[in-house]
Amino acid sequence: MIQQYSDDPDVEAAAHTAQEVVQSILASLPKADLFDYGGHHMHVGDYGVCERCTGSIAEAQQASLKLLEKAESLDDAVVREHVQLAAQLLRAEAEAAVLRAEFHNGQGSEPILNLLLGFIYDRHIHDSYDHNHEAEQ
């Protein structure tokens, strides 16, 4: 929910523009190889750590940073807010990926992660393409 401008009649137009901005940024991103792990800059797979775990961290961090950079250059405040919100979601995804990687440590904690993932799925905490509030066309 874009709260600051929720009563602005141009929010829908700004959302469309922001979607184009986000789509353009995401499409231009190379495969991520670096990520920040507690202030340490690492490559995907460093130290023999699972590439799937570290790759998801790197991808989400890279996308979040690029969206924030783009948002800073946008003049339209409503478009900027949409792009910043997209960046925040990807930042949260990166943080969640770090936590999932912590559970994927090979030391017996993966069953806890599996319980959490099942709970997230069963309680519909995750989002999906079939969850939509757009008006019927």
In-domain check, residue 116: no
The answer to whether residues 76 and 66 touch, using CB atoms and an 8 Å cutoff, is no
Tally of domains in the chain: 1
In-domain check, residue 3: no
In-domain check, residue 99: yes
In-domain check, residue 129: no
pLDDT for the residue 54: 93
In-domain check, residue 4: no
Domain that holds residue 62: 11-106
The answer to whether residues 70 and 83 touch, using CB atoms and an 8 Å cutoff, is yes
- The rounded distance, in Å, linking the Cα atoms of 30 and 106 is 30
In-domain check, residue 32: yes
Task: Select from 93, 100, 114 the least CA-distant residue to 52.
Answer: 100
In-domain check, residue 125: no
In-domain check, residue 69: yes
pLDDT for the residue 127: 82
pLDDT tens for the chain, residues 1 to 137 = 455 555 667 788 999 999 999 999 999 999 999 999 999 999 998 988 889 989 999 999 999 999 999 999 999 999 999 999 999 999 999 999 999 999 988 889 999 999 999 999 999 998 877 777 776 54
